[in-house]
Amino acid sequence: MEDLKQVYLDNNATTAVAPEVLEAMLPFFKESYGNPSSTYSFGSRIRDMIDEARARVAASLNAAPEEIVFTSCGTESDNTAISSALQAYPARRHIITTVVEHPAVLNFCRTLEPMGYTVTCLRVDSHGRLDLEAFRGALRDDTAIVSIMYANNETGVVFPIEEIGRIIKDRNTPGGKILFHTDAVQAVGKLPVDLKRLNLDMLSISGHKLHAPKGIGALYIRQGTPFYPYLIGGQQEDGRRSGTENTAYIAGLGKACELAARSLGEEAAYLGRLRDKLEAAILGTCPGAIVNGRTALRLPNTSSISFEYIDGEAILMLLDSCGIYAASGSACSSGSGKPSHVLEAMSVPTSAIHGSVRFSLSRYNDESDIDRLLGILPGIIKKLREISPLSGVSTGK
Ligand code: PLP
């Protein structure tokens, strides 16, 4: 059998660990295995290395090192941010988020409703964009926290975090600050994020989306923000996140943030070119294809495409058989058979929503990956349309 080159186009689900990141981690599995809380020098050396990683993460976001707390993942960071705000303002029982958030925010908010909290989930339009006037109108005197994602994992649509921050700031009174958190899991490493410019109180990061390993994340907490830890125990992370530090992974996240910050602009331009080529060719060769959120501001690496009258899972299976890996909807909900809540919120037509595929690129993709996809996908779409009982569109004339 022909040895096919594997083409990985699912980088919003997870990314390959960068070789430089692995190298930064290895000492912690070998000679530098001490516990950073130990007072002897074998431990305090490790503490210094953690602080170095913290400084790297902070620098990549234009934040101060003391504002970074390491966590186990993006989900923990999201849960912690919301839970902390609710503990900080026990009398306030209102939360604002959006219908297109990741389950790490949406499902956490759902667990709060039976406890007496009210959750406003802002809608998006068919391009995936928020209505800022509707947002302004949703703010209430008893709003404790606004949690709105920076960029969507399925479509790549970027929300106007700077403007949202400004609206919150204008609304705040000295005695009534509403906290603003963003899930920036898909944005960090792909877009410049400057925390000195943004009126954000908390921001979530996940390592495995930017070439660090799975199982490490961080939460930015602006200096002066009231904070209540989620995990309670020892004094690690200045008492803000208990549990012996995952030293190797922390070092890995520090390195990954440094690498991403170094090549952000170049990489975004490179990925944007590959993504645009992919979309133009698919729209030109596959009838009945819709690029979701195409006219909105989007991450440069993400393309969500719905193909009318076919099943996205069938497309993925046929791509898989050719060694090409992509996703249908978000990685966490794929396999459920339900249409994506994000595409539903964008009112993607029923005829197309089930035929949705997400391609997400990374620095390790190149032109030849796109060419291989483009050499195969139009044939797959044509074949599936021919056998689809629902097909009402032309089969490719
Ligand atoms: N938020 C967004 C936008 C994501 O895409 C993901 C992962 O897919 C998460 C949160 C959860 O991150 P983690 O897998 O690190 O828990």
* CATH classification number, 19-262, choose in 3.40.640.10, 2.40.50.140, 3.30.110.40, 3.40.50.720: 3.40.640.10
Q: Which two tokens stand for residue 144?
A: 């404790």
pLDDT of res. 272:
98
Does the C-beta of 183 come closer than 6 Å to ligand 1?
yes
pTM for the model: 0.95
Percent of the chain with pLDDT over 70: 94
Sorting pLDDT into bands at 50, 70 and 90, what band is 390?
low
Residue 336 has pLDDT above 90, yes or no: no
Question: How far, in Å, is the centroid of ligand 1 from the Cα of 200?
Answer: 19
Per-residue pLDDT tens digits for 175-232:
679 999 999 999 999 999 999 999 999 999 999 999 999 999 999 999 999 999 999 9
What CA–CA distance (Å, rounded) separates 159 from 102? 14
Cα 348 from Cα 328, distance rounded (Å): 14
User: How many angstroms from the chain centroid is the CA of residue 129?
Assistant: 17
Once rounded to an integer, what is the mean pLDDT over residues 277-297? 97
What element of type H or E holds 249?
helix 247-262
pLDDT at 332: 45
Whether 73 is catalytic: no
**286/1: higher pLDDT:** 286
- Please indicate whether residue 363 or residue 333 has the higher confidence score (pLDDT): 363
What values do phi and psi take at 151, rounded to 5?
-145, 140
Ligand 1 mean position, distance from CA 166 (Å): 26
Could you tell me the fold of the domain covering 7-16+264-387? Aspartate Aminotransferase, domain 1 (3.90.1150)
Ligand 1 atom nearest the C-alpha of 101 is 3
Give the atom of ligand 1 at the shortest distance from the alpha carbon of 76: 16
Inter-CA distances, 143 with 147, 168, 200, 368, Å: 11, 11, 15, 50
Q: What is the mean pLDDT of the chain?
A: 94
Q: CA 97 → CA 118, 119, 169, 331, distances in Å?
A: 11, 7, 17, 21
| Position 396 pLDDT exceeds 70 | no
Q: Would you say the CB of residue 186 lies under 6 angstroms from ligand 1?
A: yes
Residues 352 and 288 sit within 8 Å (Cβ to Cβ): yes
Nearest residue (by CA) to ligand 1, atom 9, is 74
* Ligand 1 neighbourhood includes 190 CB (under 6 angstroms): no
Task: Tally Cβ neighbours within 10 Å of residue 397.
Answer: 4
Q: Is 252 in the pocket of ligand 1 (CB under 6 A)?
A: no
For residues 132-148, average pLDDT: 97
Position 329 confidence tier, pLDDT thresholds 50, 70, 90: low
Mean pLDDT of the 239-244 span: 98
Domain boundaries, the chain: 7-16+264-387, 19-262
Q: Which of 73, 257, 322, 332 is catalytic?
A: 332
Question: Residue 245 pLDDT > 70, yes or no?
Answer: yes
Q: Would you state the pLDDT for residue 388? A: 76
Residue 395: pLDDT over 80: no
Confidence check: pLDDT of 392 > 70: no
Fill in the DSSP letter of residue 17: P
| 3-class secondary structure, 192 | coil
Give the pLDDT score at 124. Answer: 98
Confidence (pLDDT) at 387: 87
Rounded CA gap, 241 and 50, in Å? 14
Predicted confidence at residue 4, as pLDDT, reads: 74
pLDDT of residue 374: 98
Q: Given pLDDT bands bounded at 50, 70 and 90, which one contains residue 5?
A: confident
Which residue, 100, 96, 107, 94, is CA-closest to 124? 100
